[in-house]
Structure 1
Amino acid sequence: MNSASTPDLASIFQAASEFASYPGVVNDAAAKEFVDRYPLPVLFGVLQMEVVEPRLEETIVACLERIFRTRYGSSLLLQYVVFIHAGLQANSEAIRCLACKSISFVIENMEDKASTVRILVESNAYALLIKCLLDGNEQTSAASLIAIKNIAKSPDGIDVILPSSRDESMQLKNIANNCSSMARIRILALIKELFSLSDDIASVIYASNLLELFEVEINGRNDALSILSALEILYEGVKRNFFIINGFEIFGDRLQHKKYYIILRDKNIILL
């Protein structure tokens, strides 16, 4: 990279630091003014550089997150899907987390959500989000789960998340059966969140026998922590009235479906 194209890192760091720490909510005008001074490709390029300043990455990430939270900033993201794609595969957890959040920001802020999700799905974003969900740290995994929920709100998105073919490698049941105990718990948490989105999605999940993963985790594992986590997720689903469909009947907050009631009862989980 020649000197003419080398960004002024000191200037960028100072401006990004001020922008990231600016009190109050950043509006579209402020986001546009910053991006006009420091275009997104420049900021993305800085994140790809190896620099000595340890705070540079976290400062640029914080700055970009504030930009992407605005309607103006998120409207730019579809022009840079390749950078989102790269961010989801980055070694840095901070950058991966930002990429996951960026997907949520663009879906939430775009009026044509269906087209937005279609573009993201066609870019293979879902498969990368699943990897972030399973392998990321707590923050990255949580951001990925929210992004997947946003994708699932569109028909194109749910078709990818819950494919009809039983041989699909991205079937949640297949993924859960071939990952670590912690990753399985994250899959269960995702299933619970998807189940809550709509009756139609809940029907697909029920028909796909995905709820059996809870039973397998609780009754078929020796890992006490995994069992406790699965029970907690199942109990939260019951308590928040998520499991109300196709044989699940709730009176107040008490689950009447025999199999799952017995599971919770036998583990001394009392539904009041």
Structure 2
Amino acid sequence: MGQYLGSTIDAEGRQHLAYTSGTGNQIFASVEGESSWTHEMVRSSIALDGEISVIVDSNNNTNLIYRDSSDNSLELATKISSWSLIDIGDVGSAVSIDHPTVLLPNGSFAIALIESDGINSNLSQWIWNGTAISSTVLQAETDLSTDIEIELSDDGYLYITSMTNSGTLSIFKSMWNDSNWTNPTLPQPQGGINDYQVDLEVSSTAIMAVRGSGNSDVIYVEDIDGNWTTIASQPPSTSNGAWDLIELDDHYVLLTSEPTSNLLTWNSLSKHQING
């Protein structure tokens, strides 16, 4: 597979994958069926510089959202009987490399990205309802390589996180059908330029794994009042390697790349140990 990937699992537990050719200018999709896979070309030529968001809608249709870096625009590809392509937003408005997307309960897509109006750039949420975009500005942001994540909780809260290359960490929270966002104060990680990574996981609770220097805690946990606390020391990792957080019943698991060997490493932390 090529440089840029995306994946999700549908309600039946089957995988939907998107990936590019080796040079990143062709997009392919592979969908797991009952007994075999289907493989198709979606785009024969496009300039990508970031990952592909894969969303399965309520009709079990595969949707891909990706950014054309040649004109800073987002495009949506949807497979019903064949692939259809449609522009999302205006040319020049989608300026961040990251543009993660989630499916909302009403069938709309929520996209987190940095948008530009030609003068200013802002971390924003876009809602695509199938015909038009509505935009909510969260904060000004000029670092277009900011690590952006979006998740929807089991009880309907949207979370958007941003981590700049210089280590400024922010989180925003709102009900999925509301435009009133909270922006709680977070402990800021320590480290140098480009040392940072963040992985947000949300189900019934919200947690983050935040990569920084050895002086920074690694796990951030939201309590029932919406406040965040930090726990646990940083495991060995590389700034451009694996950084994936998983919450199990009794443990937090963080997958990292070991600095010397670059081997994938399983780091686990008992919740019972934390809570005494």
Same fold (TM over 0.5): no
Q: Pick the structure with greater CA Rg.
A: 1
Structure with more helix by fraction:
1
Which structure ranks higher in relative contact order (CA pairs < 8 Å, sequence separation ≥ 6)? 1
Give the alignment's TM-score, normalised by structure 1.
Answer: 0.31
Give the alignment's TM-score, normalised by structure 2.
Answer: 0.30
Structure with more strand by fraction:
2
